[in-house]
Amino acid sequence: MRNNSSCNDILEAVGRTPMVRLDKVANQVAGIVYGKCEFMNPGGSVKDRIGLAMVEAAEREGVLKTGGVIVEATSGNTGVALALVAARRGYRCIFTMPDKMSREKVQLLESFGAEVVITPTDVRPDHPDHYTVKAESIADQTPGAVLANQFYNEANPKAHYETTGPEVWEQTEGRVTHFLAGAGTGGTISGVGKYLKEQNSSVKIIGVDPKGSVLKNFFDTGEMIEGRPYKVEGLGSDKIPGSLDMDIVDGWITVNDAQAFQMTRRLARDEGLFVGGSSGLLVHAAVELAKELDSNAVVVTILCDWGEHYMTKVYDDEWMRSNGFPLEDEVLGRL
């Protein structure tokens, strides 16, 4: 839980997020399912932890200097985290972002003074217009620029090893049996998973992959397939991120867009938790897993970001219908 002390600046408010029992959406399970409220970070997402950590690492290494430029490929939340730190410390920011991301995320980045370069979603990972390749190009061509490189930056999983993992362990009083996370970069699941397994090697670390991502298939078969587009933002990948330690993960669960978005809306209506689609994806997987476990199970997952980023998408009935996703009332037969 957060303490009641004052902060010297907004960056001191990063982390120490509460954990909430999900007793309505998980009312058919014998054990306990918790969601860790990472949307309560000051930038509205779990990425605040790594944004601060990556900037501080670059400062310590001397590669980010006064007046410098932070460049990053982002689905939105890491960009917000970096922009938040940059605003406080006086850096300029340039971010590349796939065009499937919500307009709200773009506007939020621009509100912090960042420049946003939109790239096509449906291109191969080695294409010059892929958002990660574009970010590398911008960093190379911009004087004083540093590529945050969240997908391969060691400060990413380290931040979760040093902060998120200990918080989960403390908040469950060491009773956590299963931890579920997605892998956009792999930092959360790798860092938290490493810490929890050091405390208790029997804790199961479960990755959750959107249908269309390549990660579960690679874990199961060791073979790379070509990814397919999906609507959930921020999780999954069309390649294996460098920050992802597959050896930490015990297994993967696949969740489709419809399941993710229906649970997202249920979390708001039934639990009072206004979160994004990635949180719905993770909670759906956590609840389905918990149904198979006994009363000793303590399942923890991440509520990744704030729902206001998705008002024109998952929380918009017309957007849901136009993309072929039935509304939760229709699924539950309440119309």
Q: What would the pLDDT profile of 181-193 be if each residue is shown by its tens digit? A: 999 899 999 999 9
Q: What is the pLDDT of the chain when averaged over all its residues?
A: 93
- pLDDT band (50, 70, 90) for residue 103: confident
Rg (CA), the chain: 19
Q: Indicate if 85 and 221 belong to the same structural domain.
A: no
Q: Indicate if 33 and 56 belong to the same structural domain.
A: no
Q: Indicate if 200 and 263 belong to the same structural domain.
A: yes
| pLDDT of 77 above 50 | yes
| Range 75-100 average pLDDT | 92
Provide the residue range defining the domain that includes 117. 48-147
Is 3 within the bounds of a domain? no
Longest Cα–Cα distance of the chain, Å, equals 60
pLDDT digits (tens, 9 = 90+) for 149-180: 998 999 999 999 999 999 999 999 999 999 99
Is 108 within the bounds of a domain? yes
Q: Indicate if 167 and 242 belong to the same structural domain.
A: yes
Is 153 within the bounds of a domain? no
- pLDDT band (50, 70, 90) for residue 96: very high
Q: Indicate if 115 and 238 belong to the same structural domain.
A: no
| Range 311-320 average pLDDT | 94
| pLDDT of 31 above 70 | yes
Per the annotation, the verdict on 47 as an active-site residue is yes
Q: Indicate if 20 and 85 belong to the same structural domain.
A: no
Name the domain count of the chain.
2
Q: Indicate if 30 and 135 belong to the same structural domain.
A: no
Q: Indicate if 307 and 176 belong to the same structural domain.
A: yes
Q: Indicate if 70 and 95 belong to the same structural domain.
A: yes
Last residue of a domain, one of 82, 115, 147: 147
Range of 93-107, 234-248, 288-302 with top mean pLDDT: 288-302
Percent of the chain at pLDDT exceeding 90: 82
Write down the catalytic residue from 36, 47, 158, 231: 47
Q: What is the pLDDT of residue 14?
A: 97
Q: What global pTM score does this model have?
A: 0.91
